[in-house]
């Protein structure tokens, strides 16, 4: 799994107004979720690409397209300022893998990547 967000800009949800209302110091918060069924903990700190810009590709040679991460089994690559998101999948990709890469296109990232030993 890999997200190569070449032009990443952090999406930080400022809670300035809320903090004014409750009188607490200004703070910022990044949305998180997980761990999911594959053990990933996600942070929404990337650019969300509109679904119209998602492009699905199936390839026999994942390394050719996802080679930045040596053990990647699939990947999502976002274009400049969220103009598109290319999802590269192996033949017969399981549903969770597709959903995983789609989540990257929605601006979510996670630390670490799936190891080959984790795949069945």
Residues near Zn ion (CB under 5 A) = 1
Which residue lies nearer to Zn ion by CB, 82 or 97? 97
Distance between CA atoms of residues 78 and 15, nearest Å: 27
Distance between CA atoms of residues 42 and 102, nearest Å: 13
Closest residue to Zn ion, judged by C-beta, is 1
Cβ–Cβ < 8 Å for 29, 16: no
Q: Map tokens 């400022």 to a residue.
A: 14
The minimum distance between CB 21 and Zn ion, in angstroms, equals 37
As given in the structure block, the two tokens for residue 63 are 């390394």
Which residue lies nearer to Zn ion by CB, 82 or 114? 114
The minimum distance between CB 11 and Zn ion, in angstroms, equals 17
Please state whether beta strands 32-33 and 42-44 pair in parallel, antiparallel, or not at all (unpaired): antiparallel
The minimum distance between CB 31 and Zn ion, in angstroms, equals 17
Which residue lies nearer to Zn ion by CB, 16 or 119? 119
The minimum distance between CB 18 and Zn ion, in angstroms, equals 31
Which residue lies nearer to Zn ion by CB, 26 or 99? 99
């Amino acid at each position: 799994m890999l997200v190569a967000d070449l032009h990443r800009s952090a999406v930080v949800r400022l809670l300035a107004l809320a903090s004014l209302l409750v009188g607490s110091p200004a703070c910022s918060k990044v949305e998180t979720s997980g761990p999911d069924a594959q053990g990933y903990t996600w942070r929404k700190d990337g650019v969300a690409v509109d679904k119209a810009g998602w492009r699905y590709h199936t390839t026999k040679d994942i390394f050719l397209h996802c080679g930045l991460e040596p053990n990647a089994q699939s990947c999502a690559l976002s274009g400049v300022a969220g103009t598109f998101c290319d999802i590269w999948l192996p033949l017969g990709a399981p549903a969770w893998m597709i959903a995983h890469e789609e989540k990257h296109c929605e601006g979510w990232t996670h630390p670490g990547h799936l190891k080959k030993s984790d795949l069945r």
